[in-house]
Structure 1
């Protein structure tokens, strides 16, 4: 299931919208911030409802 979510960049603090695919379960990937273009590590923790929690981290954390 693909869901649109708004997240906050851990570098510049600006919110932006991203698409998240919960069908793959728990996952980790890197995507650039849509505002400042810095690399953000996304950690997805899927739950049984087809959604879940997103943690965004700086690439140097």
Structure 2
């Protein structure tokens, strides 16, 4: 199980690393401000069968 994943900010295009908490379930969604441009992103995380995370973001 990986404990980090990355997403690309929809505003500034920076790749952002986020920690993964597997106790939150296989499908996660939360809002986080980009640490580079401060724009709010809705972060989506999915964990596959072996616990490998996939993350992506949409602007809020």
Corresponding residue of 1:27: 28
Q: Per-residue CA shift, 1:12-34, capped at 9, x if unaligned? A: 10122221213322111001101
Structure 1, unmatched stretches of 5+, are none
The one of the two structures with greater contact order (alpha-carbon pairs below 8 A, sep at least 6) is 2
Structure 2 spans left out of the alignment, 5+ residues: none
Aligned residue pairs: how many?
Answer: 59
- Report the CA distance between 1:49 and its aligned residue: 0.8
TM-score, normalised with respect to structure 1? 0.76
Task: Say which SS state the counterpart of residue 23 (structure 1) adopts.
Answer: helix
Worse-superposed segment, 47-56 or 2-11: 2-11
